[in-house]
């Protein structure tokens, strides 16, 4: 089965947790966009009604508007019932690396405001430890970004400035992204804390304690994992 089909299966499975009256976080990336399109389809056919979406990126916002999904903001609706978003890596504790699509800061703001964060992936994203296959994206203020690069290297990362269209990639906030290869990470929460202490680092792609559910699709079907209570 091809990866797109698996992503579609995970996206459709997740949409069943959306109910009328809910405020719904709309994630970013190719899998989350499939969920957004499915939500648009459910609204159009009348299978779902009376929801408000909060998009995690300008690209998702444009897609949701084109599909006629009613939108709101965190200012008007500070609590999100359910968010459906993708991930680049998922570990056995349901901790994540996100930000492959560059939307990590808005995605984390939305995730923090969400009661039930549902992550949709194909099974290739399941890893024994974060950092095994994917770099940790770190969003930095352009001013003095070389200083942040040296700091990240001092923590053991091999660091690349994410390229864009002939110039550095810019996030929706106008910032740069440094993709950091730390190798498999022993303690992602501790690393995340260290990154947050550095001025000039806006946000990082380690999503710790945020995913409530992970829905992964593979050759053997859908696997639905839920976070164990602490």
Catalytic sites, residue numbers: 107
CB-wise, 173 or 199, nearer to ligand 5RP? 173
Dmax (CA) of the chain: 54
Pairing of strands 221-226, 136-140: unpaired
CB-wise, 134 or 151, nearer to ligand 5RP? 134
* Residue selected from 28, 159, 211, 217 as contacting ligand 5RP according to rule CB under 6 A: 28
User: What CA–CA distance (Å, rounded) separates 100 from 147?
Assistant: 22
Least Å from the CB of residue 49 to ligand 5RP: 27
Least Å from the CB of residue 21 to ligand 5RP: 26
Least Å from the CB of residue 229 to ligand 5RP: 25
User: What CA–CA distance (Å, rounded) separates 42 from 197?
Assistant: 43
Site for ligand 5RP in 181-200 (CB under 6 A): none
Site for ligand 5RP in 95-124 (CB under 6 A): 98-104, 107
- Tokens standing for 229? 């209570």
* Residue selected from 36, 87, 90, 118 as contacting ligand 5RP according to rule CB under 6 A: 87
3-state secondary structure of 65: helix
CB-wise, 81 or 85, nearer to ligand 5RP? 85
User: What CA–CA distance (Å, rounded) separates 50 from 88?
Assistant: 31
- The C-alpha angle 115, 32, 17, rounded to 5 degrees, equals 45
CB-wise, 81 or 139, nearer to ligand 5RP? 139
Q: Work out whether 29 is an interface residue with ligand 5RP (CB under 6 A).
A: yes
User: What CA–CA distance (Å, rounded) separates 194 from 215?
Assistant: 29
Q: Which helix H or strand E contains 120, and what residues bound it?
A: strand 114-122
- Tokens standing for 94? 């349901």
Q: How far is CA 66 from CA 31, 156, 217, in A?
A: 18, 43, 27
DSSP annotation string for 44-86: HHTSS-S-EEEESSHHHHHHHHHTT--B--TTT---EEEEEE-
CB-wise, 81 or 117, nearer to ligand 5RP? 117
Q: How many residues does the chain have?
A: 230
Q: x-or-dash pattern for ligand 5RP, window 37-76, by CB under 6 A? A: ----------------------------------------
Applying CB under 6 A, the site for ligand 5RP has a residue count of: 18
Q: Work out whether 226 is an interface residue with ligand 5RP (CB under 6 A).
A: no
Q: Which residues bind ligand 5RP (CB under 6 A)?
A: 27-32, 85-88, 98-104, 107
């Amino acid at each position: 089965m091809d990866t797109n089909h698996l992503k579609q299966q995970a996206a459709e499975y997740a949409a069943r947790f959306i109910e009328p009256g809910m405020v719904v976080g709309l994630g970013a990336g190719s899998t989350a966009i499939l969920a957004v399109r499915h939500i648009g389809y459910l609204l159009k056919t009348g299978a779902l009604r009376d929801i408000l979406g909060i998009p995690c990126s300008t690209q998702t916002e444009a897609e949701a508007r084109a599909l006629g999904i009613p939108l709101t903001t965190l200012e008007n609706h500070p609590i999100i019932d359910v968010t459906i978003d993708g991930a680049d890596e998922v570990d056995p504790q349901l901790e994540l690396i996100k930000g492959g699509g560059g939307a990590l800061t808005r995605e984390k703001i939305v995730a923090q405001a969400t009661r039930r964060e549902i992550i949709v992936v194909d099974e290739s994203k399941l890893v024994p430890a974060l950092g095994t296959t994917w770099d940790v994206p770190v969003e930095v203020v352009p001013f003095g970004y070389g200083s942040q690069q040296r700091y990240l290297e001092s923590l053991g990362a091999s660091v690349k400035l994410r390229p864009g269209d002939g110039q550095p990639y810019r996030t929706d906030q106008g910032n740069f992204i440094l993709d950091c290869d730390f190798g498999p990470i022993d303690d992602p929460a501790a690393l995340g804390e260290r990154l947050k202490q550095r001025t000039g680092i806006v946000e990082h792609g380690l999503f710790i304690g945020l995913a409530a559910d992970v829905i992964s699709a593979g050759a053997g079907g859908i696997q639905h994992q839920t976070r164990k209570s602490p």
